[in-house]
Amino acid sequence: QVQLVESGGGLVQAGGSLRLSCAASGRTFSRYAMGWFRQAPGKEREFVATISQSGGRTYYADSVKGRFTISRDNAKNTVYLQMNSLKPEDTAVYYCAADLGVAAPLAAEYDYWGQGTQVTVSS
């Protein structure tokens, strides 16, 4: 099993940037594909980005392509989400998740979840 802890959320003005981090426990981090999801009040959890075990493959939701970048450092057991050109509609709780399998854009495929970190983008 793996435990995940997100950090880096906060308040930012539209057009600004934030970098989220997700630190994983355990010795098997490199076995997991990792994903980022987000959930705004009154809305369902939404896929943001995913990255393969080696970091060689990435996939993004259309809403964040060209603005967000997912990356990982297996030596540090950490996955990152660099968020640029933030918009008010990016406001949500952001969750990282681990999948003992292939990278997928579906929340139901992920085995472990962090507790989330709040990102608020003001107009």
pLDDT values of the chain reduced to their tens digit, one per residue, 123 residues: 789 999 999 999 999 999 999 999 977 899 999 999 999 999 999 999 999 999 999 999 999 999 999 999 999 999 999 999 999 999 999 999 999 988 788 999 999 999 999 999 999
The C-alpha atoms of residue 116 and residue 81 are separated, in whole angstroms, by: 13
The C-alpha atoms of residue 111 and residue 63 are separated, in whole angstroms, by: 24
> For residue 59, which phi and psi values (nearest 5 degrees)?
-150, 140
E strands of 4-55, at which residues? 4-7, 10-13, 18-24, 33-39, 46-51
Those residues whose C-beta lies under 8 Å from the C-beta of residue 119, and which sit 6 or more positions away, are 9, 10, 12, 18, 20, 38, 83, 86, 90, 91, 92, 93, 94
pLDDT attached to residue 1: 78
Beta-bridge partners for 34: 51, 98
